[in-house]
């Protein structure tokens, strides 16, 4: 692949050359090989249009809406495309909920004093419990246990019984709409069950019904999975607060024992940092010839960690997002790759053999061909498990140093990370008023929530995300970034104070006044619920303005996987103008396309923008923002 199709980042392009020299299979060459003809982006027309189904033995079937060509069962192209989208949403919601279940197990064990962690944010625990109607007085451990009991009961609430979490947290205006159109959810686990069952052959082939079920699942996921997950992680590990963090592949130094927690769950990552900061572990590393021992944050597990804990020589920095994974592993600097429940690649064992590092799954969800060693996370044994992982790194160091030539002198920079609703309020003096005033007087035109992955579709890694973000800040739109797209912003330099020079005059003035970058590092993909809670607060502060009328947009410039699709569907249910790229696999379903890009506006107030050109996409976002400003008289 040409440089501009590999990655926006120089560091990744550099290591790609090494990967090619070593003759290793890699994500870029595999992507190119999947293309048809001379285009790496071209795929089967039916698959790319969403007009294919292989759920039963009569298939695979292909649909054609223009000819009314249906599947053997009679399902239309619209039904095929929406059913597959719903199934992707089920996978995304299930994975979010798995993470949340692990967080609640960890909070429960922590409240009992059975983990190496502690309840760090007592005020947040009491406030969150209070919002859920739980008695927040008394012993803090008892409050935490009551919170765990409450949310676990809500997760399994039966069909027809409204989720208490959604009732207590969502904007009233949204709740009324969701009840009116029949998408107010019960328990998240019940909604997953019903959505999966609806997707069986010959059950629900109605694209409108399937779309409403997807939105219902999205609402349950955002409030029960995402908000509960992130707020409880805050309670244990601390609120995100702004601080500097080293980023990019230059954080990898071959002379150190380097252990990389990877995935989406930060539990063992935090436990390893706690131990790595102790002198005895640094001494152990130095005794075998290393300069020391470092925990290097990686992908979304890394995002969870760097948002909350500050860097030092033990918790040294952050590499980037998932497409960089093979570049990270091929650097010749890794001793242990700790794979939790998401975003580790099936190819990793081949890289472990070539570049001499230990590949250790730490989630019962994860398995690799040929890898038998594993250490599935148990909250009560977190410290013991973390110690085993550190020792694996120390034991691996000499072999890796002796047999693998590292790639050195890779770029490293610093980004400001750790923005949350609370820290943004702190920067504004404890109230939203300064932000609202800046929006009202036009200094800021609006706010964009960038909730994205990273993909090789149509552009190189992170290139499109950075292009969209630059266009937004140039037009005085403040960007809150989440997910793998957040790593694009951090490594790409947009989360540094110097990036204010790329912003429009209004946003630049805000950046200078508050000492912030124009793109605020707001967390991971699981923070979608957190930003919905912030938008609800903005709506209330402006006088209960309906969400669809706010000067706010959502954008996923490089969505990739199933978690992203459920996030986008929730954004539509929430009433947000939602930009997604690349074009979803529904283009062969004209009625569904019309529903998502036009008709949805009359149902929930949300609408989908699938413009692929960065400048045109942002112009359309700004048109929506400016129309809403006129509607609000600002």
CB atoms within 10 A of CB 473: 25
Reported residue count of the chain is 634
The CA-atom distances, in angstroms, between 457 and each of 286, 441, 463 are: 44, 39, 11
Residues 6+ apart with CB under 8 A from 576: 449, 535, 547, 548, 552, 553, 554, 606
Q: Is 47 one of the annotated binding-site residues?
A: no
Residue 106, token pair as written in the block: 């960890």
Q: Whole-angstrom Cα distance, residue 406 to residue 394?
A: 17
Q: What ranges make up the beta strands (E) of 353-508? A: 358-361, 413-417, 446-452, 477-483
Q: Is 525 one of the annotated binding-site residues?
A: yes
Please name every residue paired with 477 in a beta bridge, in sequence order, or none if there are none: 446
Residue 205, token pair as written in the block: 């082939």
Residue 87, token pair as written in the block: 């199934």
Q: Is 44 one of the annotated binding-site residues?
A: yes
Q: Is 73 one of the annotated binding-site residues?
A: yes
Q: Is 343 one of the annotated binding-site residues?
A: yes
Residue 534, token pair as written in the block: 């912030």
The CA-atom distances, in angstroms, between 311 and each of 214, 318, 482, 494 are: 40, 9, 20, 19
**Burial per residue of 322-339, b for 16 or more beta-carbon CB atoms within 10 angstroms, e otherwise:** bbbbbbbbbbbbbbbbbb
Identify the burial level of 1 via C-beta atoms within 10 angstroms of its C-beta, where 0-12 means exposed, 13-18 middle and 19 or more buried.
Answer: middle
Q: Whole-angstrom Cα distance, residue 301 to residue 276?
A: 17
Omega of the bond prior to 60 within 30 degrees of 0, cis?
yes
Q: SS in 3 state form for 528-551?
A: HHHHHHHHHHHHHHCCCCCHHHCC
Residue numbering of the annotated binding site for [4Fe-4S] cluster: 44, 53, 56, 61, 73
- The binding site consists of 44, 53, 56, 61, 73, 264, 343, 453, 484, 525
Query: Where is the binding site for [Ni-4Fe-4S] cluster, in residues?
Result: 264, 343, 453, 484, 525
């Amino acid at each position: 692949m040409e440089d501009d199709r590999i990655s926006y980042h120089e560091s990744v392009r550099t290591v790609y050359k090494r990967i090619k020299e070593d003759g290793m299979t890699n994500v870029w060459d595999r992507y190119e090989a999947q293309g048809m003809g001379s285009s790496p982006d071209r795929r089967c027309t039916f698959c790319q249009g969403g007009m294919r189904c292989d759920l039963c033995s009569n298939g695979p079937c292909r649909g054609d809406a223009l000819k009314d060509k249906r599947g053997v069962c009679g399902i239309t192209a619209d039904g095929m495309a929406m059913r597959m989208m719903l199934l992707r949403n089920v996978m995304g919601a299930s994975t979010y909920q798995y993470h949340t279940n692990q967080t609640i197990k960890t909070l429960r064990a922590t409240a009992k004093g059975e983990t190496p962690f502690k309840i760090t944010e007592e005020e947040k625990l009491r406030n969150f419990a209070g919002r859920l109607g739980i008695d927040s007085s008394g012993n803090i451990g008892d409050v935490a246990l009551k919170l765990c009991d409450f949310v676990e009961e809500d997760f399994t609430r039966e069909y027809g019984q409204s989720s208490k979490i959604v009732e207590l947290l969502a904007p009233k205006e949204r709740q009324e709409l969701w009840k009116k159109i029949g998408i107010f959810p019960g328990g998240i686990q019940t909604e997953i069950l019903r959505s999966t069952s609806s997707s069986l052959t010959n059950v629900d082939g109605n694209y409108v019904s399937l779309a409403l079920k997807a939105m219902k699942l999205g609402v349950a996921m955002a409030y029960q999975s995402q908000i509960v997950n992130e707020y409880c992680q805050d309670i244990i590990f601390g609120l995100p607060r702004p601080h500097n963090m080293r980023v990019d592949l230059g954080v990898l130094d071959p002379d150190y024992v380097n252990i990389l927690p990877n995935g989406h769950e930060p539990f063992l990552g935090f436990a390893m940092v706690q131990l790595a900061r102790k002198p005895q572990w640094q001494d152990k590393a130095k005794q075998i010839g290393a300069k020391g021992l470092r925990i290097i944050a990686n992908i979304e597990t890394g995002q969870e960690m760097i948002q909350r804990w500050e860097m030092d020589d033990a918790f040294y920095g952050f590499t980037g997002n998932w497409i960089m994974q093979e570049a990270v592993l091929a650097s010749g600097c890794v001793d242990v790759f700790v794979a939790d429940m998401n975003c580790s690649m099936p190819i990793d064992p081949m890289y472990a053999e070539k570049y001499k590092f230990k590949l250790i799954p730490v989630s019962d969800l994860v398995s690799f061909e040929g890898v038998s060693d594993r250490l599935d996370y148990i909250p009560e044994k977190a410290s013991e498990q973390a110690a085993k992982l550190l020792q694996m790194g120390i034991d691996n160091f000499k072999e890796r140093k002796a047999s693998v030539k590292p790639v050195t002198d890779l770029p490293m920079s610093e980004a400001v990370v750790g923005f949350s609703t609370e820290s943004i309020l702190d920067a504004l003096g404890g109230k939203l008023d300064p932000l609202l005033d800046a929006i009202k007087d036009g200094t800021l035109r609006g706010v964009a929530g960038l909730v994205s992955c990273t993909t090789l579709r149509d552009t190189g890694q992170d290139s499109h995300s950075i292009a969209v973000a630059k266009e937004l800040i140039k037009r005085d739109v403040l960007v809150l970034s989440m997910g793998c797209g957040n790593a694009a912003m951090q490594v790409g330099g947009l989360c540094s104070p110097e990036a204010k020079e790329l912003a429009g005059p209004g946003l630049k003035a805000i950046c200078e006044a508050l000492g912030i970058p124009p793109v605020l590092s707001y967390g991971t993909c699981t923070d979608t619920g957190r930003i919905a809670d912030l938008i609800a607060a903005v709506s209330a502060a402006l006088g209960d303005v309906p969400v669809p009328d706010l000067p706010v947009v959502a954008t996923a410039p490089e969505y990739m996987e199933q978690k992203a699709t459920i996030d986008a569907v929730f954004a539509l249910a929430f009433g947000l103008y939602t930009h997604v790229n690349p074009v979803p696999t529904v283009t062969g379903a004209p009625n569904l396309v019309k529903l998502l890009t036009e008709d949805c506006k009359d149902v929930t107030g949300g609408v989908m923008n699938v413009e692929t050109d960065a400048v045109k996409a942002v112009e359309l976002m700004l048109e929506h923002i400016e129309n809403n400003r006129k509607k609000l008289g600002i």
